[in-house]
Amino acid sequence: MCKRNIDRVILVFDNKTANPVYAGVMVTIMLARAFAVLGYKVDFLLIQGEYSIKWPQYLRSETRIKAFEIEQIGLLEQFLSRHDVQTKVMTWHEFLEYKKTFSRKDYVAFALPVMNRMHKMAIHQFAHNFFKFLTRNLSTQQVDRILLSTEDFSDTHSVPRELSNYVAYNVRVNKDWGSGRDVSVDTFLAAISYLKLHFPDRQILIVSTIEGIEFCKEIAHEQRLELFYSKDYNSSFIGDCFLVLAASQYFSYLAGGMSSVAMLSKIPYIVYARHSTAKSHQKNGRMFAFSAHNQTVLDPEEFEKQMASGFAKA
């Protein structure tokens, strides 16, 4: 990029090569924000209309597929508008025509897998490490401009009156997309005990899907737990993003895409993750060079050991 004196960075997020999950598009959005802060013009091209095999398997119907695509556009508008990133939604055929306008001063990130529509080498596979690379030596001021915050929402969202100092606990319940990481009753109750032990002065807001909220409400009713629920205040992933970014603490155990929002912000978080995210964190539990001491990604076995030792009884 330096040798070619690049003026514009073009990021292509293609639904044909991506799974219908939030983490991939969120970290690609962060790449766009990072390049913008570094002084580049940035185009974010969202390719819709064709899908990987995972889309119909997971979303089940054309209605849900279209709803997810609309939500993708909403995420771009929400998190890229104040960074002057140009966002364009197009079909693959329209992209091929648009590509003819590119010049030598344009840099298409991961051009080879983009042009060959390679699922195993799609942009979201590289975006996490590329983001770590871009931000490793930036100043605190630059990082602050990149990271997600409630400032991204302007006047469009507000914290409910009954919530003040709260922990956002992200609970995973998603039967469509594999139930292997879905929370169990015992783990849910253990996590609530953990949060009450470590954050006794905080309210607890459950952040989850509608089915996850229903699951948690049933347990809370039986156990007489006083909890709050994100879907009582909004119906979208973007709305949940705001509630997470407005929290004084974020916690998750084997949860999903919402953890990427917390980890790409300045709020304190404790994330227990078994997937590739856990393997990529640094020795001190920090995910990025800019991560603070109260922003940690840990092996879930550590939480399981604490649970087995009986912290729930403390």
**Strands, DSSP E only, in 48-154?**
86-90, 106-108
Positive/negative CA dihedral, 120, 1, 281, 293: negative
- Residue 270's closest CA among 247, 289, 253, 291? 253
Half-sphere exposure of 254 (CA within 13 A, CB side): 18
The reply to whether 162-313 shares the fold of 8-147 is yes
The CATH number assigned to the domain with range 8-147 reads 3.40.50
Q: Which two tokens stand for residue 163?
A: 């919530």
- Strand pairing report for 166-170 and 249-253: parallel
**Strands, DSSP E only, in 196-274?**
203-207, 228-229, 249-253, 269-272
Amino acid at 128: H
314 residues of the chain, pLDDT tens digit each: 777 889 999 999 999 999 898 988 999 999 999 999 999 999 999 999 999 988 988 888 999 999 999 999 999 999 998 898 999 999 999 999 999 999 999 999 999 999 999 887 778 778 888 999 999 999 999 999 999 999 999 777 899 999 989 999 999 877 665 555 678 899 999 999 999 999 999 999 999 999 999 999 999 999 999 999 999 999 899 999 999 999 999 999 987 789 999 999 999 999 998 755 444 555 577 889 999 999 999 888 888 888 887 764 44
pLDDT value of residue 119: 80
Determine the Cα–Cα distance for residues 165 and 158; give it in Å rounded to an integer: 14
- Interacting residues of 4 by C-beta distance below 8 A, sequence separation 6+: 104, 105, 107
The CATH number assigned to the domain with range 162-313 reads 3.40.50.2000
Domain locations in the chain as residue ranges: 8-147, 162-313
- Residue 122's closest CA among 257, 12, 32? 12
- Interacting residues of 295 by C-beta distance below 8 A, sequence separation 6+: 263, 267, 268, 269, 286, 287
